[in-house]
A and B are shown apart, each in its own frame.
Chain A
Amino acid sequence: MIGQFPLLQKKQDGKRLVYLDSGATSQRPQAVLDAVDNFYKEANANPHRGVYTLGERATEAYESSRKEVAAFLHAKPEEVIFTRNATEALNLIAYTWGLQNLKRGDRVVVSILEHHSNLIPWQQVCRATGAELTFLYTGSDGVITQEEIEKKITKGVKLVACTHVSNVLGLVSPVQAISVRAHAVGAVFVLDAAQSAPHLPLDVTKLGADFLAFSGHKLYAPLGIGVLWGRQELLEAMPPFLTGGDMIESVREQDATWAPLPQKFEAGTQNAGGAVGLAAAIRWMQSIGFEEIARREQDVYQYAWQTLAKLPHITLLGTEKGQHSGAISFTVEGAHPHDVATILDADAVCVRAGHHCAQPLLHHLGLNACCRASFAVYNTRADVDALAESLMKVRKWLGYGA
């Protein structure tokens, strides 16, 4: 597997690179790099503009990528909007559906697990509309209970936005229960799939979401390409987010009409190379198969949990129970996460340290910062062993002696 990832074969100061930060961004397989390279060498022109052969080739590459993303999500191509990332997709919903549909007295519910991308847009929209922002809280184990769902998602809630998988705790949220409850009270359900897309199948016909957002770069695709999926009737009723070239039907001096979906939400020149890379990444994942991806990742995840749990001075966050994916966070007694990350880096072990763009969750857990090891399909038990070995050096470097 690692043989397919050029960067993972590089050494850092003569040491094997142990990349455990795929929750922040994944590495890219050769198949994706080749697809992007090939687009720019063989088909580069501005999609939807040139009527010449090369222009048509660019349009074909871009639109066939959309079809592949749609098939991946079990959605219609016109429901797939290309964005820069999940953050932009979530902002799009907030600034179009949110500003149009929310008013004073309405409530928006998010979970305390959200990373800032699925929190701050809702804070802003609530501030602008006078709607109230409330939270689904978890216990110290990070679990959202059915009781909490029923207590918080009640009449008057117009929108529920929740992460599919916590980027800090790696826990899979009770998406079905939240969706059922949201729809029962007449709310729209936004699913942030940024952390789940690389790990779990995303079938929008089964997930019960009305909107779904993810980033390509966490899914082996290039940086700068993301996806918003929305139910067609909702997208059609929404005003455009960004306006300008390409998203119009016809323009007069004082007004304009909008292009049909999905172009209405794709103003300006798009990242066609990124879209091609995203489709290639999805093809690459499908060539391995989601079952095989899950089997490999679960093996490494379980091994990592068991290994880290046995280490002295290490505290794992969250719970061993429940369905997990992607990430394990921890603290080292007496050592600040930034120091841990610096010390691990000397062994070429890459982990994230800080608040992981989820400050309210960390405060809820009584922490300022923590370390996170996050996994992708290319990680192995050997990576976990390297992490554990390096972690044992941390306190020594900080002067604790052991």
Chain B
Amino acid sequence: MGLEQIYTQIITENSRSTEHRYQVKDPTQVVEGVNPSCGDDITLQLRVKDGVIDDAAFLGDGCAISQASASIMIDLIKGKSLKEAQHLSELFLGMIKGTVTDDDQLDELEDAQAFRDISHMPARVKCAVLGWHTLQDAVKKADSGEKVKP
């Protein structure tokens, strides 16, 4: 696969964007995600109010793919319900695994569709899914009422 399919403008711009990189005020969930193959870790912070993601941001280090993926993910889930966030994460992981291929369905992922070609690069799949797996952990915690202490 050519580099132009991986390092698209959407990915390189989002990887360097700092828009969603900050400390969330009074977060309800703080979840760390680690990629054991490279040691990259990100910390996802959510502030959930009445089942809706009121604010979300992330901190940590990672490659262009993991950072862009996390940044685009946060763009998508801010203001959405936990249920919608869970649905989007399943859709994204399905796209990367190649189990969801329907274009109309994938349109819901908006810019995150830029990672569709990563499914042909097994070595980089873990990078693309790091943020989304972390999101699933965070949603699980929020659903079960597990909150960080203020």
- By a beta-carbon cutoff of 8 Å, the part of chain A in contact with chain B is 335-339, 342-343, 346, 353-355, 359, 362, 368-369, 397-399
Contacts and interface: CB of A to CB of B under 8 A. Distances in A.
A338 B65 contact: yes
A342 B124 contact: yes
Contact of B38 (A346, A354, A398): A354
27 contacts: A336-B62, A336-B63, A336-B67, A338-B40, A339-B7, A342-B3, A342-B121, A342-B123, A346-B2, A354-B37, A354-B38, A354-B39, A362-B39, A368-B38, A368-B41, A368-B61, A369-B38, A397-B3, A397-B7, A397-B12, A398-B15, A398-B16, A398-B64, A399-B7, A399-B9, A399-B15, A399-B16
Interface of B: 2-3, 6-7, 9, 12-13, 15-16, 37-41, 61-67, 121, 123-124, 127
Contacts of A337: 38, 63
Given A336-B62, A338-B40, A346-B2, 7 more contacts: A336-B40, A336-B61, A337-B63, A339-B63, A354-B39, A359-B39, A397-B7
A369 B40 contact: yes
A336 B64 contact: yes
B126 to A, nearest CB: 9
A362 B39 CA distance: 10
A346 B1 CA distance: 8
Nearest first, the 6 A-B pairs at minimum CB distance are A336-B63, A399-B12, A354-B38, A338-B63, A355-B39, A397-B7
Nearest to A13: B2
A353 B2 contact: no
A51 to B, nearest CB: 48
A28 B12 CA distance: 38
Nearest to A354: B38
B37 A339 contact: no
| A-side interface mostly | mixed
B124 A338 contact: yes
By CB atoms of chain A within 10 A, which of B2, B9, B40, B124 has the most? Answer: B40
A126 to B, nearest CB: 22
Contacts of A368: 38-41, 61
B9 A342 contact: no
Nearest to A341: B123
Given A336-B62, A338-B63, A398 B7 contact: yes
Given A336-B62, A337-B63, A339-B65, A398 B12 contact: yes
Contacts of B39: 354-355, 359, 362, 368-369
A335 B124 CA distance: 15
A335 B6 CA distance: 14
B64 A339 contact: yes
Contact of A355 (B2, B3, B38, B124): B38
Nearest to A369: B38
A374 B6 CA distance: 26
A338 to B, nearest CB: 4
Nearest to B6: A342
A330 to B, nearest CB: 16
Contacts of B12: 397-399
A257 to B, nearest CB: 42
A369 B36 CA distance: 11
A354 B138 CA distance: 26
A354 B62 CA distance: 11
B80 to A, nearest CB: 28
